[in-house]
Amino acid sequence: MMAKKEHLFIVFENLLKIKSECSCKIFSECGLSSDITVKQVGYLRSIDECGEVTFSRLAKITNNSKPTITEMINKFVKMECVCRERCSNDGRVVYIRLTEKGQMIARAEENALMNVIEKMADSLNEREIDTLIKILEKIK
């Protein structure tokens, strides 16, 4: 049984490596090196999920102070990941929106996982895919 577990480890490690390579490729296409943190990607994902969000709302969602959010958004603006947009009805309200680059980064992990799934689908026939789905659904 130990040998099978080691084999599973190697197989899953390979899948994770492929996913990581896909993520790195996406970050590279955005002109980013490894200097973006997991936490920053998480913030971009939060903004992406909201579509548009105010500083106050983002502070609440991420459990941060408004000054921390302001500092983070300033970095993201310099990285060209987000832009600020004043509300047309109330000029005091400023929305944070993702740029195309910000969307690519926020969705990088999801897109990388889709790339892995594409590779799996290209490597397996329909019966094998059905079997794989049944097996993976057993894991809880």
In the chain, where the domains are located? 36-137
Selection from 83, 81, 85 nearest residue 93 by Cα: 85
Residue 110 has pLDDT above 80, yes or no: yes
List strand residue ranges (DSSP E) for 39-135, in order: 53-54, 82-86, 94-98
Predicted model pTM: 0.74
Looking at domain 36-137, which of 1.10.150.120, 3.30.390.30, 1.10.10.10, 3.40.50.720 is its CATH number?
1.10.10.10
Contact 27/109 with Cβ under 8 angstroms? no
Predicted confidence (pLDDT) at residue 23 exceeds the cutoff of 70: yes
**Are the beta carbons of 62 and 43 closer than 8 angstroms?**
yes
User: DSSP state, 104?
Assistant: H
Q: How far is CA 86 from the centre of its chain?
A: 26
pLDDT in tens, 89-107: 888 889 999 999 999 999 9
Cα–Cα nearest to 24, from 34, 16, 14, 13:
34
- State whether the Cα torsion 28-30-31-36 is positive or negative: negative
Q: What does the pLDDT read at residue 102?
A: 92
Partners of 82 in the β-ladder: 98
Average pLDDT of the chain to the nearest whole number = 88
Instruction: Determine the Cα–Cα distance for residues 15 and 50; give it in Å rounded to an integer.
Output: 30
